[in-house]
Amino acid sequence: MGQSRLEEIRQIRTEKLQKLRDLGVDPYPAKFSKSRVDISRALGSLGKNVAVAGRVWRWREHGNVVFADLKDSSGQIQIMFNTQTLADKWPVIKLLDVGDFLGVAGKIVKTQAGEVTVDVSSFELLTKSLHPLPDDWHGLKDIEERYRQRYVDLLLNQPARQVFLTRTEIVKFLRRYLDEHGFIEVETPILQSIYGGASAKPFTTHHQALDTDFYLRISDELYLKRLVVGGFDKVYELGKDFRNEGMDRAHNPEFTMLEFYWAYADYQELMKFTETMLSQLVKELKIATDIDFTPPWPRISYRDAILKHAGIDINQADTAAKLLKLIKRKNIKLNLEEVGFGTLLDILYKQTTRPHLIGPLFLTDRPTEFVTLAKRLPHDPSKTASFQLLIKGEEVINAYNELNDPIDQADRWRESEKLAAKGQEEHEAFDADYIRALEYGMPPTAGWGMGIDRLTALLTGQSTLKDTILFPTLRPEKQ
């Protein structure tokens, strides 16, 4: 619909709004005066008088009778206005439009065509719509417009609506599962004076009263582990994290994470817990997916995966110089602008190995350079007691035995800050208060984090996270 036509319709509807007010009709009342039932219930109430409310969807005039469809969140029903019973209301009826909200009362009948219908005996305008809806057969065609006007997309796009209903059920299941296994849900700060828990660039904001810069959290991890120090043996948080990074099909600056920390457990126990939980989720929610979640899932070490798909043994190529030499010898083309052994290895992994890891599978024992908060393997200090869950080549879960040695943790953060001094933009900051917490003592603990947006995308077959986030981050709209 062209902009000039759109403005013309809005002007006509605005004029109707004034005419309604002139007739003494409140176009935006606070509530429906009658006790209403859901439309789904009304559909099964043939012969009974009911009151229902919803949005007008289609409008069909046949002489002295007007048919329309009324929708609420439970379903849709046809309604019928007849001049014989509503003669005094006809001036108001002529001012109604598709998109308006109505409350109607009347008897449930069947038309000659066999359609269940409310034979309207009285009605109330509940909201006058000034903006016309797009054609419901075609909806919003522009992808960015769909994301920006999600409220319209949800009205017209049933598959999109179902994705978000499924997401809600996924979140409810995960909360219930953790609650039933003895975890307690907590809330930790979003505004943090020192960001931590991952290597990422944060968003910065300023607190006026304290005249201090704060960061939007990039992870919940360090505060949740402070709670383990404080005697909470099983804690979890489901909430928003923020990373000031690029946007693509797999990343949004604002995203939802579920993290839990489990004292006296280790990452091997977490792998069993994970495959049981997610396979049960898919089964209980009856999610139709081509991914086989039947446990047990394969486990492959990071070293073996790189060796298989890149032909490089990272036990031998254990420095940036050695690794770079082998990459060039094998003629592997990589973007090598970043610094440091860990970053170089990560680029190699993501380009040569990760696309082949279909899963679900656990990629275990990642190098220490990747996970500065994870405990080292006793028999190989260059690796960590860790895993990632990969599904269709996507990293869904990151988990490990938590490093509880305050001296080792401090040393690793100092190394991270040295890389920052050399120009590495994404690094971890030194958190002296967290080191102090570890000095009080944290029991052996395993931690786990999962992206809800990414899990939902995989389970519902979406190719971009924007289709699993109700209002994804977009460039501000030009006025």
User: In this predicted structure, what is the pLDDT of residue 356?
Assistant: 95
pLDDT of residue 370: 85
Between CA 241 and CA 222 the distance in angstroms is 13
Domain 158-298+359-467 fold: BirA Bifunctional Protein; domain 2 (3.30.930)
Residue-level pLDDT at 371: 86
CA distance 223 to 203: 18
Count the neighbouring beta carbons within 10 Å of the beta carbon of residue 462.
18
The pLDDT value recorded for residue 338 is: 56
Residues 6+ apart with CB under 8 A from 176: none
Residue 148 predicted with pLDDT over 90 = yes
* pLDDT value of residue 429: 86
Residue with tokens 């908060």: 373
pLDDT for the residue numbered 388: 98
Q: What is the pLDDT of residue 228?
A: 98
CA distance 451 to 92: 50
pLDDT (average), residues 210-219? 97
Q: Is the dihedral of CA 176, 178, 180, 185 positive or negative?
A: negative
Mean pLDDT of the region 364-392: 95
- Residues 320 and 340 sit within 8 Å (Cβ to Cβ): yes
Q: What is the dihedral of CA 105, 111, 113, 117, to 10 degrees?
A: 10
Which tokens go with 284? Answer: 């209980």
Confidence of residue 424 (pLDDT cuts 50, 70, 90): low
- In 172-225, DSSP assigns E strands to 184-185, 191-192, 204-207, 212-216
Confidence at residue 1, expressed as pLDDT on a 0 to 100 scale: 60
Residue pLDDT, tens place only, 440-460: 999 999 999 999 999 999 999
For the chain, the structural domain boundaries read 3-127, 158-298+359-467
What is the three-class DSSP state of 242?
Answer: strand
Spatial contact of 345 and 323, defined as CB atoms under 8 Å apart: yes
The reply to whether CATH 2.30.110.10 applies to domain 3-127 is no
The pLDDT tens digits for 266-319 are: 999 999 999 999 999 999 999 999 999 999 999 999 999 999 999 999 999 999
Closest CA to 275 of 259, 252, 298: 298
Please name the residues in contact with 9: beta carbons below 8 A apart, sequence gap of 6 or more.
Answer: 132
Tokens 């919803």 belong to residue: 54
pLDDT in tens, 324-371: 999 989 998 887 665 678 888 999 999 999 999 999 999 999 999 888
pLDDT of residue 153: 93
Within 10 A of 284 (CB to CB), how many other CB atoms are there? 12
Burial 301-332 (b: 16+ CB within 10 A, else e): bbbebbbebbebebeebeebeebbebbeeeee
Helix (H), strand (E) at residue 84: helix 83-86
pLDDT tens figures, 43-94:
999 999 999 999 999 999 998 899 999 999 999 999 999 988 999 999 999 9
d(CA 81, CA 463): 45
| Cα–Cα distance measured from residue 440 to residue 435, given in angstroms and rounded to the nearest whole number | 9
Cα gap 452→239, rounded to integer Å: 10
